[in-house]
Amino acid sequence: MPNLHDLIVIGGGLVGGAIAWGAQAKGASVVLLDEGDIAYRAARGNFGLVWVQSKGAGMPPYAHWTRRSAALWPDLAARLRQATGTDIALHQPGGLAFCLSDEEYIERESLIRRMHNESGDIGTRMLSREDVRAMVPGLGDEVAGASFCPIDGHASPLHLLKALHETLAYRPNRKVTRIDAVPRSFTVHAGTETYTAPKIVIAAGLGSRDLAPMVGLHMPVSPLQGQIIVTERMRKIIDYPTHLLRQTDEGTVMLGDSQEDVGFDTTTRIAVLKKIADRNTRIFPALKDASIIRMWAALRVMSPDGFPIYEQSARYPGAFAATCHSGVTLAAAHALALAPAILDGKLPDDVASFGSARFEASRAA
């Protein structure tokens, strides 16, 4: 029997999951095809921040898109809870980025000023050594201050992924190997199965690079490794997410955030983990006594300039590309703004500058 749908989404990570969920919530018949455990899956190895304060320096549309997503997040969390009963542990109390020297403080202050001047005021401010200690007890002597953004937050990325998948026609272990395309009609081959729809979204993370040309799109993404440490459950040490550390509802503390250009390599390295642990114990000396219960490495999905790619194929209208390296942060925009626009056949104006034309040189190469 042919599998006919309104929309096929390839890639069951956070980007594909959010778009598929948003489209289904609008009444579309959607199938979500996912390669499964064997693939590289950033959605299962990430830090869980809904992070706004430093996103989009030099690219105001990205700052505004991120802010829009942060504003939509409470609605997405509430709707997922209503649909599935899953609490994805969203908290948006504001986020802190600690500075461990006066030089770091000055550098951060200049970034925050730049963001303000380029993209407008969202209440991000610098906190002095004294101010940050009044907000967060137990900080190490080296903490020289912090930036604070009132709309930053965090959530459980695994609960989010589970909630997105739960109500969808989610098909794991379906590696897509071929797409037969004509404008507004796409037949997708995954093993012995075929699926057909007038619209298709390529959101296969690092797998998108190979799939995109099949529908006239260009997604030159590459991996950037990040490593994470998780401690045992601890008494509450902080109420706010930070870009290096966050405490989950269960009490474990997650520590990051490394960036290693090592290709498709997901092995952890002691030198990298040590650097993560060193910096975080300088911020919170109490962490020195915590036991580590887990460590892992996962691969971010990066475009050449680090900004998202959203595009509709000029050659095969109805085929869309979607990728970014902040799939948690942008999940709400993907579900509640991008997905309805895709169903209407046109990307939102907010993302007009995220096409792949900016990578023409790499396409030619």
Segment 295 to 334, residues that bind ligand FAD, using CB under 6 A: 298-301, 323-329
47 binds ligand FAD (CB under 6 A): yes
**Binding range to ligand FAD, per CB under 6 A, among 48-56, 135-143, 144-152, 343-351:** 48-56
Nearest residue (CB) to ligand FAD, 11 versus 145:
11
As measured in angstroms, the least distance from the Cβ of 99 to ligand FAD is 20
Q: Judge whether 76 and 332 are in contact, CB under 8 Å.
A: yes
Chosen residue from 7, 8, 9, 11 binding ligand FAD by CB under 6 A = 11
Provide long-range contacts, Cβ within 8 A and 24+ apart, for 89-93.
89/154, 89/155, 89/156, 89/159, 89/248, 89/249, 90/50, 90/153, 90/154, 90/155, 91/153, 91/154, 91/155, 91/241, 92/50, 92/151, 92/152, 92/153, 93/153, 93/239, 93/240, 93/241
90 binds ligand FAD (CB under 6 A): no
Nearest residue (CB) to ligand FAD, 237 versus 301:
301
| Strands 199-202 vs 30-33: parallel, antiparallel or unpaired | unpaired
Which x/- pattern over 159-178 shows residues binding ligand FAD (rule: CB under 6 A)? ---------------xxx--
Tokens in use for 55?
Answer: 């996103």
**By three-state DSSP, how is residue 308 classified?**
coil
Chosen residue from 22, 45, 56, 95 binding ligand FAD by CB under 6 A = 45
Sheet holding 169-171, edge to edge: 169-171, 30-33, 7-10, 199-202, 319-323, 309-312
As measured in angstroms, the least distance from the Cβ of 326 to ligand FAD is 4
35 binds ligand FAD (CB under 6 A): yes
What burial letters (b/e) apply to 10-45, b meaning 16+ CB within 10 Å?
bbbbbbbbbbbbbbbbbebebbbbbbeeebbbbbeb
As measured in angstroms, the least distance from the Cβ of 236 to ligand FAD is 20
Nearest residue (CB) to ligand FAD, 19 versus 290:
19
Nearest residue (CB) to ligand FAD, 145 versus 153:
153
- Provide the binding-site residues for ligand FAD, judged by CB under 6 A: 10-16, 33-36, 39-43, 45-49, 51, 174-176, 203-205, 207, 211, 226, 228, 298-301, 323-329
